[in-house]
Structures are given as C-alpha cells and as structure tokens.
Amino acid sequence: MSTAKVISVPITGQQHLLFLFVPLKKGKLAEAVKIADTLHLAAKEVTAPTGPFDPRKTTGVHYFMIYPQADGQKTPGIPVPGFTSFPGKDVLVVMSIYDGQFDAYISAFFAIPAVVNGLNALMYLMDETGIPGVDPNGPTSANHIAKTGVVRNALAFYCLLMRYNFGDPILSAGDSTPGGKYQFGSNFPGLTVANIIDNYPGAADEWPAPPSDVTYTFPKAKKPDCQ
Amino acid sequence: MGNNETILMDDVQGLILRGYNYPNIRYIILNIREKAGAQKFCADLVPREGATGLTVTTGEPWDHGIKPAYCLNIGFTYEGMVQLIGTENCNTVNLGSSYEVFNHFSIGAVNDADNISDTGESAPGNWWKNGGWISKTPPRADGTDLHIQITLFTLSTETREEFYAKLLAMIPEAAAGGPSVVPVYYQDSDPVVVDGHSDYIHFGYRDSLSQPRIANLYWNKPSVRKLLGISTIDDRPTVPVDRFIIVQDPSIDYYAHPLLTNGTFVAFRLLYQDVAKFNEFINSDPGTPPDLLAAKMCGRWFDGTPLVVSPNKEDKNLGEPGPTNFNFTNFDYLAPSTNQPNDRSSDDSGQKCPYASHIRRANPRDDINVTGNNDNAEKHRIVRRASPYGPPYVAGEKPGVQRGLVGLFMGAVLASQFRFVTTTWFELNGFRSPDASPNNSGVDPLFGPQVADPDPTNDDVFAFNNKGTYKTIPTKLTRFIRTDGSLYVFLPGIQGLISLSKGTIPASV
C-alpha cells in the first residue's frame, strides 16, 4: 500500500467557518436585516481598483447566510427549536465560509465605506446587557465601538465578533485532526475564492468585477416529495 | 490614510524621526524603586533651557547640522507607567485609545511571547540571561520589574561611559535610602566594520538601507528635498507620519488618549545571532555558492545590493548608500520604480528575489499578492533603530560568545506594525498567493522555523526560484536568531513625559 501524499494547505488557502449569533435589541430585527441587505449590496458593488488587485480575493466568501430571529421564537419549518435567542433579545444569525485569517478577512471590508457605515449602524442595534461574562461597556463592546466606529476599533471589533462566533478561525475545512469542536469537511481544501478567480476558465465572464455587472437567474430545484 | 498636521518637532523624541547614526550606543533598562524619585528623574530629563543634566533628544534639527555630544531617548513599559501614574490612570488611557494601540502594550512582551513566536529557546524564561544583567536580583519571569528603557547614543566609547555616569548621577535618592531608580540591564552596541564600512551586522550584511520615508517631515518636504537635490531620485512612497507618531486625527484608523499624543510604541528587542550556524547553512549546499544563498535568504547581497536590481552579483556601480543615493532602495517587485537602476524586469515570480527572503517579507513594497498588502505596505511599515552588539565573529572561536542585534522597532500601532510583520509576514505560512514554491515560501529564513510552527513539516525548507525551477537547499533551516530579551515600550512625547513625571494624565478628549 502506497503512502498517501501530504499536501500542506497554507493559511491563506484555508477555508474557515464564520457562524455568528449577534444579540440585538428587541424589536430591531427589521433594521438589522435592512443593514444586512445594505452590506450585501455594498460588497457586490465593489469595483477592482486600477491594476490587478481584486478585493474579492480577500472579501469574497464561498457562501453566506443571514437569518433574523425574534426573541423567544422557534426557528420555523422544523419541529425542534433550532436557533435560540438570548432571552429578551432578538438574534441575527450570520453564517459564511471565508478564506484565510479571520482578521485579514474582516479588515478587508473596511476599504468599502458603505460596509463600514452598515457595520457602525449595527453596533447601535446590538444589545450586550445582562449576558454573563460580557461587559456591555467594555473596550470590545458594541457600545464602546459605536462611539468611534469599527475602523478605529478594528481589533476590538474582531474580539466582539469572536465573542458571538460559533465558528473556530483555526479549524480549517477538510482538517480531520481530532479535537475540533465540530466536523468541518471539504472535498476541496485549498480551493479559495482567490484560486477560483485566478484559475477558473470562465471566471472573468461568470464572476466579473464588479459583480453587479451580471445578474443571475436560478431555475428552482425540487424538494423531495415527503407527503 | 492621511495626516497633514505639522509635527511639533520639539514634542517628539528625535529617534522616531531620524536615525542618529552614532557609533557607540548603550541600551539601558531600569527598575523603579520609588515613585517620587522616579518622577523627579523623568522631570529632570525633560528638555528645557538651562538644564544641567542630560535631557531627552527631540526631533528638532541640530544646530548647523552638527551632532550633539550625546542623544538620549526614554520609554516606559506598561508596568513602568503603572508605577508613575497608577493603574486607574492607565485604565483610563486604555479605554480612551483604540484597542490595538494600547492593549498589546499593556499585555506586555512576556505575555505576548507565544503570539509572536518567542518560544522554545526564545521564550521569556530565558530572557536577559546571556550577558548584560547587572542587578543582583535575577529578572522576574513576568517582566514586571522592567520599567524604563533608555537609549544613550554617543560618539565614542569614552563619552559613553562619561554620559552614562552623568545619567546615573541624576537618579534621586529614595526617601527610604538607596537610589529611587536602578539600572538592571544594559547592552552596549559598537559598529561591525567590514571593508571600512561601519554599517554591517554580524551575519555579514550591510544594514539599514531602506527605512520608511516619513511624510510631512521637514527634510521630506518637496521644497526642502529639491534644495537638497533629492526630490526626484528617491522612489520610496511616503508613509503618513501617523504610522510612527501618535496623532489626534479623526480621519485615521485609530484613536488615542491625549497622554499618548506625539509618542509612539516600540518593541525593544535583544536578538542573538548565531553566526556559526548561519555560516554553516550558507555553505551547506555544494551546488549553491554561499554568497548567493545568503543573498537569496536576505534579498540583498552582502554589500546591500538588492537582488531585484542585480540578481547575479553585487554591483559596486550603485555607489555608497547615503542621504542622496537611493540606488539601494529604489526598486519594486512587480513593476520597476521610477528610478530603479539596472535590471527593471518584474519579479512577480520571485525569480530574482525569493518571496521567502527577509527584506521581501519585511516590506513587500508593491507586491499586492502578499497577504494584507495593497498599499505599498504603508499600514505595516516599521521604523527600525537597531544596531549590533558583541564582538565580530571569528571562525573557530570558543562557543558562547554573545552577539546579535539590539534595538527598537517602532510604530504607532503595535498590532498592525511590529506584531503584524512578525506574526503574519515573517512567520505565517502562506505569505503570498499565488506561490508555486514547494512550501509556500515557508517562513523568514533568517528567523527560521519556530517551535509550534503552523507548518512544521515544511517551514524548515528554504527554496528559491531558479529560472522557473525551484532549487531546494537540502539542509534543513534552523533558527539563526534567538530572542534573548523583549519589552513593549511607550516612547512619550515631551508633554507626555511631563505628565508621567507629575503622575497625572491629561483630560480625555
């Protein structure tokens, strides 16, 4: 039996999970969703600066999901509670798979003013009061960051996100080393957004920069018939 | 990022803005025994008319450009600041500053050691133990006994002793008897001379060839540069002064408590250099001449010639590096800089200067394929004021001779400057993408693989692109540099120093 080839996936080539449960002031879900939409749109409008630099190589994610859930509600469509909010607060669930280092990924968005504005606005909607172990006015709190904004509090902002991140920035997709807090698989370790942009034959046409130069239609797949 | 404020040169410690280029230096660390005496000591060091003792050197131009007999700069560790202004005031400064500005400083170098790969032989438990410790009490493992760092620059070894004695004489007696401040460590630095040039380090490289060009300084103003005849030949992009001096400017990416204004943060580093091991490595591959391998590791030939402008040999036609000769720093990696001499071809593939090389990792210039670099490294540049210590290496010498590099690595934001370059560009596997080298260019070859390296199976490999094929050096890389001491230090502005000497802090904005 031959020995399996060992391939080292550099940190910049690793895929990581972001899975946030952001506590919001009760009744602010609609505003939060509006901000999330703004962020999505702003990221989509990103244009490549002059030269070959494409910011999507850092800001691009493979997938993302944003889901708002009101205080005390069960996650709809399933017969178990699903996501839960901290009592007395709404929750914004954000999930994505990003490449490379957590701080490099987050800070790349700071170059997009509309995203920065959205994140700053989100700070005002968060509610960290009464959560055990959290100082709602401490240096990494949303309250504190809101005063001067996320860009001038970059490190504090990373710490704030990490507080509510179920994802582990050092657990890489496809890494089967035992001991991680969840299984995170991938059949294509190292297949980063940057690699897709650089190497996929039709990338410039199918995923041009800026992304808003194209629109997509999605004929619907079918659910299994479970009646 | 920008800053158009005029710098108050008389409120800024001069070392931040210019290298003094003095030959004989003493780096001193002091312990505060009594607050009142320490405050008076600091107050007496404040530059002012009629001062009789030594005073801190500011950024003001020297009279007629003539060097003073000495220069002196002072910094404080977090514990030192706690001693002078108290914990409550330190907490106020912390809360009034961006987390990345003050937090790592307050954590300190000992507690940050694991994060910046000061592990194994370089771990804090081994610091300050290889010569230079002068206190009878051994250094505390947590570093809390190290409070003040003073650097004394002199023009001769004799005047170094003379001014050091004067400095010690300024220390007030404590009320309970004995000195209020005690020197616990010092390290002298004297030049390593090669071919008559006194700007070499022990590994054999010419040093300090490409410091950041700081915007808005008097000597970097376009009109002054024109007068000096250097306005059109220095290709270095300017770096906003707010990267090196803490300013109050709502348009930049940090904020700071007023106590910190016109100051900066510093990593004071004592870095042992194992010259014998380094020489062994560069001579280890019969197929690679040692000077070529050394050049590929550094990114420059021993005489400072950049590989990008002269990939095959040293180039004496570049002249002597100096204030009007920028041939040693006029180059870029992807597209040639305006005045790049000689070879102007792109080095996107790293065929001339490997991605792994020390100078490419420390400052990737225009290489936008490097993690976190789309601004000519502007956000991450470091001002480096370091110099060699210990005697020159002699082949066959007895083991245990201590030599290396000691000095200050400065930046307004430790997190995005010293810590970022050290952790992300030097040591993080995956420095650049794309990278076709066999090990993603591993780690900085001069610092070598660290204990608990993220990619231990690959980071001890050094390879360079040789006409499209990677040449891997068969001998494994080891560590040629060992951290023998480290402090995170705040260098206050002069007003900041006055506040510290009074035990107070200015009101928050």
From the CB of residue B80, how many other CB atoms can be counted at a distance below 10 Å? 27
B504 three-class SS: coil
Q: Which amino acid is at B363?
A: N
Average pLDDT over residues B115-131: 94
Q: Would B322 be classed as within a structural domain?
A: no
Among the residue ranges A52-66, B87-101, B103-117, B413-427, the one predicted with the least confidence is A52-66
CA-nearest residue to B1 within chain A is A111
Q: What is the pLDDT of residues A113-129, one digit of tens each?
A: 888 999 999 999 999 99
Residue B481: is its pLDDT beyond 90?
yes
Q: Which residue of B has its CA nearest to A159?
A: B99
pLDDT at res. B2:
40
Q: Which of B254, B434, B454 sits opposite A11 (nearest CB)?
A: B454
Least confident of A160-174, B178-192, B228-242: B228-242
Q: Give the residue-averaged pLDDT of A43-51.
A: 59
Alpha-carbon distance values, B67 to B60, B130, B343, B436, B504 (Å): 12, 33, 38, 49, 34
Supply the pLDDT for residue A105.
87
Q: What is the 3-state secondary structure (H, E, C) of B296-353?
A: HHHCECCCCCECCCCCCCCCHHHCCCECCECCCCCCCCCCCCCCCCCCCCCCCCCCCC
CB distance from A139 to chain B under 8 Å?
A: yes
Domain region containing A225: 1-227
Which residues lie below 8 Å from residue B157, measured CB to CB, with a gap of 6+?
B24, B188, B190
Give the relative orientation of helices B78-85 and B87-95 as an angle to the nearest 10 degrees. 120
DSSP state of B180: S
What's the pLDDT at B1?
39
CA–CA distances in Å: residue B137 to residues B134, B146, B167, B183, B270: 9, 12, 22, 12, 20
- The pLDDT value given to residue A104: 85
**Mean per-residue pLDDT over chain B, rounded:** 93
Binary contact (B98, A156; C-beta < 8 A): yes
Residue type, B120: G
The pLDDT score that the predictor gives to residue A62 is: 79
Residues A154 and A148 sit within 8 Å (Cβ to Cβ): no
Q: Give the tens place of pLDDT for each residue, B352-399.
A: 999 999 999 999 999 988 988 888 899 999 999 999 999 999 999 999
The partner residues of B73 in beta bridges, in order of sequence, read B151
The reply to whether A190 touches chain B by the CB within 8 Å rule is no
Closest chain A residue to B414, measured at CA: A155
By CB atoms closer than 10 A (0-12, 13-18, 19+), residue A87 is exposed
- Residue B309 belongs to a domain: no
pLDDT on residue B454: 67
Exposed / middle / buried, residue A198 (Cβ in 10 Å: 0-12, 13-18, 19+): middle
* Inter-chain residue contact A10 with B415, CB threshold 8 Å: no
Which CATH number characterizes residue A225's domain? 3.30.70.100
Region of B143 on the Ramachandran plot (φ > 0 left; ψ -120 to 50 alpha; else beta): left
B254–A194 C-beta distance less than 8 A = no
Per cent of chain A over pLDDT 70 is: 95
What are the CA-CA distances from residue B315 to residues A199, B251, B303 (Å)?
Answer: 39, 43, 8
Specify the number of domains making up chain A.
Answer: 1
Contact A219/A83 with Cβ under 8 angstroms? no
In a domain, B135, yes or no: yes
Distance CA A115, CA A109 (A): 7
State the complex-level ipTM.
0.87
Position B4 confidence tier, pLDDT thresholds 50, 70, 90: very low
Paired tokens of B118: 């000061």
| Domain contains B102 | yes
Alpha-carbon separation of residue B73 from B26, B110, B408, B498 (angstroms)? 11, 23, 11, 14
Per the CB < 8 A criterion, the answer to whether B436 and A198 are in contact is no
Q: Is the pLDDT assigned to residue B5 strictly greater than 70? A: no
User: Which contiguous run of DSSP H or E holds residue B269?
Assistant: strand B264-273
Say how many domains are in chain B: 1
Cβ of B368 within 8 Å of Cβ of A53? The answer is yes
Residue A27 and residue B22: Cα distance in Å, rounded? 65
The answer to whether position B35 is within a domain reads yes
User: Residue A200 is which amino acid?
Assistant: Y
Residues of B contacting chain A (CB within 8 angstroms)? 94-95, 98-100, 103, 252-255, 368, 371-372, 374, 415-416, 424, 428-435, 439-440, 454-455, 457-458
HSE-CB of B433 using CA atoms within 13 angstroms: 27
Does any CB of chain B come closer than 8 Å to the CB of residue A196?
Answer: no
Residue A49 with chain B: CB contacts under 8 Å: 374
Question: Torsion-angle region of residue B365: left (phi > 0), alpha (psi -120 to 50) or beta?
Answer: left
Closest Cα in chain B, distance from residue A33 (Å): 27
Q: Is residue B350 part of a domain?
A: no
Chain B contacts in chain A segment 104-123 (CB below 8 A): 104, 107, 110-111
pLDDT at B219 over 80: no
Domain contains B416: no
- Containing structural domain, residue B32: 12-197+223-268+490-502
What pLDDT was estimated at residue B149? 98
Q: Does A101 touch chain B (CB under 8 A)?
A: yes
Does the distance separating the beta carbons of A51 and B430 come in below 8 Å?
Answer: no
Q: Which A positions 60-99 lie with beta carbon below 8 A of chain B?
A: none
| Whole-number Å distance between alpha carbons of B102 and B100 | 6
8 A C-beta contact, residue B423 and residue B342: no
Residue B483 located in a structural domain: no
Does the pLDDT at position A51 exceed 60?
no
Q: Which has more confidence, B194 or A38?
A: B194
